[in-house]
Structure 1
Amino acid sequence: MKWLVLILVALPVQVLAQSKTVLPSEASIEVTIADDAPVPFTREMVLLTIRGVYRRHITREELIQPLFDGFSWAQLGPDSWSEERINGRKYKVLTRRMAIYPVEAGKLSIGPFVHRLTLTDENDDWFEHEIQSDPLTIQVAKAPATQDWWFPVRKLQISDQWSNAPDQLAPGEGVLRVIRLEALGATPEMLPPMPELTSPSALIFAHPEKRLVELTPEGPVTYAFWRWTIRPSNDTSGIVEPLQFSYFDTVARETREVTISPQRIAYGTVTQEEGPDRSEKDVAQAKLLGGPGAAIASVVFLAGLVLGMSGHKVAASRALQRFGIFDPLVRDLQSCAKTGRADGLRQAASAILHRDGPSSRRLKQMQDFDRQYFDPKAAAPDLKEFARSFLKN
């Protein structure tokens, strides 16, 4: 008897739940902005949360967003569906996160989001039903006047990295500098352009800028990589001048200045072992050996000659490698010059400089070569002439 009463009580509720009559408590959607959000400036990120709550079985659904007149926007990942218990009852919950960026000041309106649902009735037939959110109005302030790039961002992290120690370079060697920007709340086009790195006494070759974006629930995170290859232009050192730019901290609501410090670029000091002082007064007069001394010297000479003939040729072999065809680096240099491989030729020349030590003439040749090789407007260097004069000096 108790089971029959429970079935009779539950039956009207179940029929009502699957009828074509959809109550507001069974399907609703709203769009919200954080309660503590300040009045945004133009091009500043505003986070929207679209949240739908449902107690009906949904066969199909489509969320249609408004046109966003006066805004640019980005959806922060796919829609998420979950189950929540609200007032003791289970609900299906839809969540979408969006970042919108007002492009003009004033009072801007966001139209309703429409959720088009396919539900089932008491006969298990499908029918269409739409719900929509209330429209929103946002007051937007005009961005403050700045001398440079207007760059509003929620969080900015900067790193300055070098491929090797910039003040301990090998002769003819360059160094790669990479400045990495990580900006939360900014899309790639919002970041300032790559600045010009300058130095009165160094050669600087800029690489193409790279920008990447990652979508997170807290907003887009844009990564920018500014890259330069730098070489001293003389035998001593050079200074790379500092970089400066500003951004607007949207959390602290203030403008912040960024200064990336200057850096010294230099070849490392090459020191050679100094032998003992061989002044004339310390050198004893040479005398020819005679008698027993001459005999001992002959034996020592013959023993050394036998050892040399038996394979102890390491020092001699290394010395021979420094002459013409016996030197593998010289062979590489000449081969690259003949085949037109400028990058290989430069690597071989740098290796020779590193091995043999700095030479003012060779360093000057490397600087002239780099100006022609890296400057797209300059004439291509004559590889054969470079190899000939480089080996001659």
Structure 2
Amino acid sequence: MIALTIRGEYTGAITLEDMTFPDSAAYDWIQISPDEWKDERIEGKLRRTFQRHIAIFAKQSGSLAIGPVTHMLTKAETNARAQVPVTAKAVSINVAPYPAPGRPLAASTLAVTDELSGDPARIRDDQTIQRRITLTAQGSMGHLLPPRPDLREPWLISFAAPEKRETRLTQDGPVAFVQWEWSLRPITGEQGALPPMRFSWFDTGKREMRGAIMPPIPFGYGKLAENVGGMAQAPALARWSSMAAVLAGFLMPLLVLLRSRRFPALSRLKAALHRLRPNPALTDLREAARGQDLLALRRSVEKYLGHEASVSPTQNLALHRLDTALFAKEPHDFDRDAFLAEITRSRGR
């Protein structure tokens, strides 16, 4: 942050005034306090003084030009009013390069908090834990703080609340604030850990790079019987694998023959053959859709989509609506029949 003070010393009666600080592609700026007008005696003469405090944030290194700044005054003369422009010349400031790779973040202080609504190492079955990370940087602006981290793990579903990002004005200058919140719930029964996070920033007081590190967060075991890597599903998977191998033995020669003849509808035939191949998770998905446990439905649809060749935009949208209902704080209407139809539509079921 570059602190800039614009000061004017005037004589005579001023009835109106207007000053517009110039915008620039080379910097961001914000006025950090109200304008100050007062009477002062300067070198024995009474003057009307004006002060405006601006915080400037350079977007790049090198010579930074600020201004000129014009203060348009309306002064009362004997029998009339006159407009008097007062202009301060442009100034240049040399901005040093940011001393590290990545997105620049400079502040006098950076505070990071990581809050959890429960102990993830002792999480119960079907329990949801809220995680909230808050960054507060003194002497910066909200849009200069880093973007939201991505919390995605194959054993976890996460639902992100809208972030809160703003610049707060205080007596000590601007303060950048951002807050992220997720609802986290393991779904596979596996033990896992969220990776550590590091937020690097330049300390403008000590003139050195510093880092705030969030340690990894381990999650305990859930339902071991439903562990995707466990043996509970092995017989069923073995049966379906055998059926798939037999079916492939009949279809592969046909596909080779069609490809050798440059069959024009090969892609359509492949899609039709995919729809004929049974999805081993379809039965469980239908049973879960008839129940009331949305988390069980979420597990079933994950298994179902894992056996599909691709996930369509319609299926992604349906999955998003399920997550919204799953993490809603209030009771949320959810049409299970419509959801099942959207998820299985690509197979014509």
Matched ranges for 1:65-214 at <5 A: 65-66=21-22, 68=24, 70-84=26-40, 91-121=47-77, 123-146=78-101, 148-199=102-153, 201-214=155-168
Q: How far has the Cα of 1:59 moved from its partner?
A: 0.8
Report the alpha carbon displacement of residue 364 of structure 1 after superposing the two structures with TM.
5.7
Superposed CA offset, 1:105-143 (max 9, x none)? 33333233222222223x343222232324322112233
Contact 1:97 1:217 in 2 (8 A): no
Change (3 A) 1:228 1:126: same
Distance verdict in 2 for CA 1:136–1:158, change over 3 Å: same
- Decide which of 324, 336, 339 is 1:383's aligned counterpart: 336
Q: What's 1:311 paired with?
A: none
Contact 2:107/2:137, CA 8 A, preserved across alignment: yes
- Kindly state the Cα deviation for residue 180 of structure 1 after the two structures are TM-superposed: 0.6
Structure 2 match to 1:228 = 182
Distance 2:119 2:45 in 1: 64
What residue identity is the alignment partner of 2:175?
A: V
Opposite residue 252 of structure 1, the aligned amino acid is K
Please tell me whether Structure 1 or Structure 2 has the larger radius of gyration of its CA atoms: 1
Percent of paired sites with the same residue: 33
Displacement of 1:95 in angstroms is: 1.9
| Residues 370 and 217 (structure 1), Cα distance of their counterparts in 2 relative to 1, 3 Å cut | farther
| Contact 1:106 1:139 survives alignment (8 Å) | yes
Distance 2:41 2:195 in 1: 60
Provide the aligned length of Structure 1 versus Structure 2.
253
Alignment deviations for residues 263-284 of structure 1 (CA, whole Å, 9 cap, x no partner): 2334799xxxxxxxxxxxxxxx
CA 1:113/1:236 → structure 2, altered by over 3 Å: closer, same or farther? Answer: closer
Structure 1 residue 169, shift from structure 2 partner: 3.9
Other-structure match for 1:51: 7
Residue identity matched to 2:147? P
Note the C-alpha offset of 1:175. Answer: 0.8
- Alignment root-mean-square deviation, CA: 3.8
TM-score, with length taken from structure 1: 0.54
Distance 1:199 1:83, change over 3 A: farther
Deviation readout 1:200-240 (Å, 9 max, x if unpaired): 64333334433122234544322111222111335575422
Q: Contact conserved, 2:26 with 2:59, CA < 8 A, in 1?
A: yes
Aligned counterpart, 1:391: none
Give the TM-score of the pair, scaled to structure 2: 0.60
Q: Secondary structure at the match of 1:377?
A: helix
- Segments of 5+ residues of structure 2 without an aligned counterpart are 224-288, 305-312, 323-334, 340-349
- Contact 1:236 1:267 survives alignment (8 Å): yes
Indicate if the aligned counterparts of 1:202 and 1:240 stay in contact, CA closer than 8 A. no
CA distance in 1, matches of 2:169, 2:112: 19
Gaps of at least 5 residues in structure 1 are 1-44, 270-336, 350-362, 387-393
Provide the rounded CA distance (Å) in 1 between the counterparts of 2:131 and 2:192.
15
Per the TM alignment, residue 379 of structure 1 is displaced from its structure 2 partner at its CA by: 4.9
